[in-house]
A and B are shown apart, each in its own frame.
Chain A
């Protein structure tokens, strides 16, 4: 299994500012993902964080709004830029090990005023 540390666990931010969320895995993993979970909804994949190259974004998500870094096989960051109240959500980091197991961090509860 993999232990994923995600921080911050929650934050309240002002409109127009940016927040960077960090995700640290206790072992090297090939795949890391960032998800958004809006209240009462399922998980929506934002992007796949690729080590050593640009992230792969899903439809509806762009790099300017959600820049992602993946400097090595154990760490990734997601920035939510120029925030608006519509960005209020839970953001989840996940890592895939052994090709079949997907583990999650504890999530970041973001509120934008």
Chain B
């Protein structure tokens, strides 16, 4: 199986919260990331969390890390149409400096 797994699609109504989930396999991962990719663009680093943290909040974004279950989530509060994009989860495995990416979750925000 893949090292980093994400569901492929998420559809939410504008104004609701979005929760994008990610699971990974390496228990010694050091950093975990969330990236946003809009059509025709590169990847924008949204936020990242160090493995000794459980939660990180940055304005509308909340990252939760459950190391026991190797589960990472990104919550977007008050989701707007401009949040429609593909969101990639990534980890840096222990002993490496090279991130491993999931396949991305396509977030669709509808009125």
Contacts and interface: CB of A to CB of B under 8 A. Distances in A.
A96 B101 CA distance: 15
Contact of B41 (A48, A94, A106): A106
A48 B99 CA distance: 12
Interface stretch (A12-20, A38-46, A67-75, A78-86): A38-46
Interface residues of A, number: 23
A76 interface: no
Contacts of A94: 43
A39 to B, nearest CB: 11
A6 interface: yes
B63 to A, nearest CB: 14
A43 B45 contact: no
Interface residues of B, number: 22
B8 to A, nearest CB: 9
A66 to B, nearest CB: 16
Contacts, number: 45
Given A43-B88, A96-B97, A104 B102 contact: no
A96 B43 CA distance: 13
Interface in B9-60: 30-31, 33, 35, 40-45, 48, 50
Interface in A85-113: 92, 94, 96, 99-107, 109
6 contacts: A33-B98, A42-B101, A100-B30, A100-B48, A102-B90, A103-B45
Given A33-B98, A100-B92, A102-B99, 12 more contacts: A1-B45, A43-B43, A92-B42, A94-B43, A99-B97, A103-B45, A104-B35, A104-B43, A106-B42, A107-B40, A107-B42, A109-B40
